[in-house]
C-alpha cells in the first residue's frame, strides 16, 4: 500500500526521525492559513502517490503566506504522473547546505532489508544507480538483529566527515530502520536527508510503501489508505477482485493464476516484447471479471495488443470466452487480441469465440509470439 509523504512523515517522526512540522491543506485558503500559523518561508508540496514531484512542479517554495496561497492554487488540481493532486503539505522551508539519499528497501535477492545511502541526494536514486552506482553504499541488514549501532555509524560515515553530523545521521539511520520494521514497510526512503545551514540533520521528504499482507495487524496504518488518491486502474482492479500491476510495456496481459501470469510475462520478454502489466483474473472467473480486466488493460494508452492466456481448471474457458465477447461488444477495445485457452470447456470456448469472429489458439509459445508481433515488436526469440 502506498501512503502519502505527510503520513510517512508522521510514522518516521514517531520513531524519532527529525522532520519539520507541517499540515495538510485541501484548498489554497487553508494552505495560506497554515503558512501564516507556521510563519516565515514555507514549502508547498503536492501529496500524491508518486515521486519526482519537484521536477513536475509539485513542490514550491513560498516566502510568505500569500505566496503559499498562490503556490497551492497552482499545485492543487494539477496532474503528476496521471494522478490528480487533491492535497498539499505546507511545511517550514529549510535552508539546505547539502542533500543526501537514505533508504531501506526489501531486497528479494538477498532476502533482507537493504540499507542504501548516497551523498548524491535530492535526485532520483534510480538515476544514480544507473549512471553512478559506486555513489551508493549498500548494506544488507539481518532482520534477526536489526540495524546494529556500528552499522548505523558506518552508514553515516559514508555520507559525512564531520563527527557531529555523523552522530546525528547515525540516529536517523537507527530511527528509520525502527520505523521501517514497525510499519512492515517494503520501502522507507528519505530523499533528501539534508544538513541545514546550522548543521542540523533533517529529513525533508519521506516515502514509504507498506506490505499489504501486514495491514491486518496494523489498523492505524491501514486507516491511512487514501482511496481517492489511488491509481484508478489499481482501484478498479481491487474492486473487481483482480490482481493488477501496471508495467511499462505494450503487450496487455490477461491471465488466470499468478504463476501462469509470471510465466506469460517471461515468455513475452523472451519473444522480444514488453508486458504492459501483470494481471491475474483469478480462479472461477465470471464474464464480469473479464470485462473489468479488459477495461483496465485498454485504459492504458501504451497497450498495443492484448494477450489472453487461460488455463481452464476451476476457471471455465467458456466463461472467459463469453467475457471477451461481452466486453468487446460493450467497449471499444481498439487493439488486436491474441487468445489462448486450454482446459475446462475449451471446445465450447473455441466455438463461442469463432462464432464471434475471434481466433483462439491452444499453444502458449504461438500465442505469445502473435501478441508480440501484433504490438509491433519482437524479432523472434532472443
Ligand atoms: P520529490 O521531488 O517528489 O522527491 O519531492 P522533494 O520533497 O524531495 O522535493 C524536491 C526538491 O525540492 C528537493 O530535493 C529540494 O531540492 C527542494 N526542496 C524541498 N523542500 C525544501 C525546503 O524546505 N527548502 C529548500 N530550499 N528546498 C526544498
Ligand atoms: Mn524527494
CA dist 292 and 235 (Å) reads 11
CA dist 246 and 47 (Å) reads 21
* CB of 303 closer than 8 Å to CB of 250: yes
Cα(51) to ligand 2 centroid in Å equals 7
* CB of 19 closer than 8 Å to CB of 203: yes
The tens place of each residue's pLDDT in the chain, 382 residues long, gives 999 999 999 999 999 999 999 999 999 999 999 999 999 999 999 999 998 999 999 999 999 999 999 999 999 999 998 899 999 999 999 999 999 999 999 998 999 999 999 999 887 888 898 999 999 999 999 999 999 999 999 999 999 999 999 999 999 999 999 999 999 999 999 999 999 999 999 999 999 999 999 999 999 999 999 988 888 888 888 888 899 999 999 999 999 999 999 999 999 999 999 999 999 998 766 778 888 999 999 999 999 999 999 998 888 999 999 989 998 898 888 999 999 999 999 999 999 999 999 999 989 999 999 999 999 976 544 3
205 lines ligand 1 (CB under 6 A): yes
Looking at the CA of 45, name the nearest ligand: 1
336 lines ligand 1 (CB under 6 A): no
Residue 378 has a pLDDT of: 63
CA dist 122 and 114 (Å) reads 20
CA dist 57 and 126 (Å) reads 20
76 lines ligand 1 (CB under 6 A): no
Residue 382 has a pLDDT of: 37
Looking at the CA of 43, name the nearest ligand: 1
Residue 285 has a pLDDT of: 61
Dump pLDDT digits (tens) for 192-212. Answer: 999 999 999 999 999 999 999
**Burial label, 326 (beta-carbon count in 10 A; 0-12, 13-18, 19+):** middle
Residues with catalytic function: 101, 189
Give the Å distances, CA to CA, from 326 to 210, 273, 330.
37, 28, 6
Return phi, psi of residue 139, to 5°: -140, 105
CA 248-251-256 angle, 5° bins: 105
Amino acid at each position: 500500500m502506498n501512503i502519502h509523504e505527510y503520513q510517512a512523515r508522521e510514522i518516521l517522526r514517531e520513531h524519532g526521525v527529525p522532520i519539520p512540522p507541517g499540515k495538510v491543506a485541501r484548498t489554497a485558503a487553508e494552505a495560506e492559513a497554515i503558512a501564516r500559523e507556521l510563519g516565515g518561508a514555507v514549502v508547498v508540496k503536492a501529496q500524491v502517490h508518486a515521486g519526482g514531484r519537484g521536477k513536475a512542479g509539485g513542490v514550491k517554495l513560498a516566502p510568505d503566506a500569500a505566496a503559499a496561497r498562490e503556490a497551492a492554487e497552482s499545485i492543487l488540481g494539477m496532474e503528476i504522473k496521471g494522478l490528480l493532486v487533491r492535497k498539499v503539505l505546507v511545511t517550514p522551508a529549510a535552508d539546505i547546505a547539502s542533500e543526501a539519499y537514505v533508504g531501506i528497501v526489501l531486497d528479494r535477492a538477498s532476502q533482507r532489508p537493504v540499507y542504501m545511502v548516497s551523498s548524491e541526494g535530492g535526485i532520483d536514486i534510480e538515476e544514480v544507480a544507473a549512471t553512478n552506482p559506486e555513489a551508493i553504499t549498500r548494506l544488507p541488514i539481518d532482520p534477526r538483529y536489526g540495524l546494529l549501532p556500528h552499522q548505523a555509524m558506518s552508514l553515516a560515515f559514508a555520507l559525512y566527515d564531520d563527527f557531529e553530523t555523523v552522530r546525528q545521521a547515525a540516529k536517523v539511520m537507527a530511527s528509520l530502520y525502527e520505523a521501517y520494521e514497525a510499519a512492515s514497510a517494503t520501502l522507507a526512503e528519505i530523499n533528501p536527508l539534508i544538513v541545514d545551514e546550522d548543521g542540523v540533520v533533517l529529513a525533508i521528504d519521506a516515502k514509504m510503501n507498506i506490505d499489504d499482507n501486514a495491514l491486518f495487524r496494523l489498523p492505524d496504518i491501514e486507516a491511512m489508505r487514501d482511496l481517492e488518491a489511488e491509481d484508478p486502474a489499481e482501484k478498479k482492479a481491487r474492486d473487481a477482485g483482480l490482481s493488477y500491476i501496471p508495467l511499462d510495456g505494450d503487450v496487455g496481459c490477461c491471465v488466470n493464476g499468478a504463476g501462469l501470469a509470471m510465466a506469460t510475462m517471461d515468455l513475452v520478454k523472451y519473444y522480444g516484447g514488453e508486458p504492459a502489466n501483470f494481471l491475474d483474473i483469478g480462479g472461477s472467473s465470471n464474464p464480469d471479471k473479464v470485462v473489468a480486466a479488459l477495461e483496465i488493460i485498454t485504459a492504458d494508452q501504451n497497450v498495443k495488443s492484448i494477450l489472453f492466456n487461460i488455463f481452464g481448471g476451476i476457471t471455465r474457458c467458456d466463461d472467459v470466452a463469453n467475457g471477451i465477447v461481452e466486453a468487446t461488444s460493450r467497449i471499444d477495445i481498439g487493439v488486436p487480441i491474441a487468445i489462448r485457452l486450454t482446459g475446462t470447456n475449451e471446445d465450447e470456448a473455441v466455438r463461442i469465440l469463432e462464432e464471434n469472429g475471434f481466433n483462439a489458439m491452444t499453444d502458449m509459445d504461438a500465442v505469445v509470439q502473435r501478441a508480440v508481433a501484433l504490438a509491433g515488436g519482437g524479432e523472434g526469440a532472443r
